Structure 1
Amino acid sequence: MLFQSYYPWLLGNLVTLIWEQRAHWLGKWQILPSGYLELIFSLDTKIDEIHGKRVGEHFNPTRHFCFLSGLHTKPLYLNIQRFHNIGIRFHPIAIKALFGFPCSEVTDWAIISDDFLKEMAEIEERLKAPDEFITKAKWLEQHFLKKLNESSDLHLALKLRHVLKKSLTSIYAGNKIQMDELTGYSRMHTHKLFSDWFGLSPGRTLRLQQC
């Protein structure tokens, strides 16, 4: 198996990794919930079987060149003959900031890129070019940095990420927290914000981040 990665420091608050993975043998894989979402580009054969909470034989997103693999709360089970993928690992708040739709729409689900990436043809051409991985990764970093700079919600996204980090720090210190007090909004509005930006309720978001 080949695995290589690049840390996109220009996107450090919202993107944790750009990676390439390649394998050439039959195998069964289990992918545990990570608390992140992955934008995956398939450069080789699709995955034969995929089973999760909501994805499976009726909807196999790997049949498409690019898809956003959602915030999974249950393990994914894959049956693979071979694959070659490039992926971008997003913090949940990046989804609404970059693409404009609530993260909850892709919780335990996947979305085909044609639904939210108008520039897909340009990305496909770049990733299928005979360049080194690091060249492709840096191009993706610059491409999504431009999209991020055009986001009108970036300030709110970073504020919510700060609230989440502060909450986790308090929990690890053994303190009780009131999420609405940390956000400065009502309990109902805080719940909606977390659903839109983190894909889950405040309580479930904290539990997933602690795993």
Structure 2
Amino acid sequence: MAESTYTTDDGVELHLECEGPQDAPVTLVLTHGYAQASRCWHAQRKALAAEGFRVLVWDLRGHGRSAQPPVETCTIDRVADDLAEILTHCTAGPLVLAGHSMGGMALMALAQRHHELVRGRVRAVAFVATSTSSAGLGSFGLGGTHGTSGTGLGRPGLRRTGRVVEQLASRGAARAGTGLCSVPDVLWPGHVAAGRAADGGDGGGGWFCHDGGLPADSR
């Protein structure tokens, strides 16, 4: 695992960690939620890297080991801009993005504010326990949802989210460079936890716990 620091255009230092082969067909970028840190992806990061994917996790501004920013810059739009800078300057090639809770909101803002970046490089997106309705994704420039892709994932802890993101990564890797990926696939795993669909809201169904961010059976 390689650790690094990226300084944003407004001078905030962000903590990054990257794991997995540099020649992987896609890079997975995992964005955590409010009051968490990149360690909440610990189990998924290791499992996905072991499957041959390159995985980048990062601490949002004011979270984890990233610097404390001016309070007026603590907005979803600014987090989306931070992510756009990271994707532009710290990654190469096709991307698969996953966001948990507020991290998912940042992904939507990314699509709205940096649509050329998303259309040009993002092959798939996963929203985990993110508060909004999947019916509204079209207004953010994202493609059709594939929520039922997660319905059968009844595996405990580690593989619940890891396998969902792995499905997207595999799909993105297979389509990388084909010219068929101008709009990314979208998966809404938080809405199909425990094999049931939800109309909206967090709907996490135990995919994440909030006392440290790791699934209970993977600690």
TM-score normalised by the chain length of structure 1: 0.28
- The two structures have a TM-score, normalised by structure 2, of 0.28
Higher Rg? 1
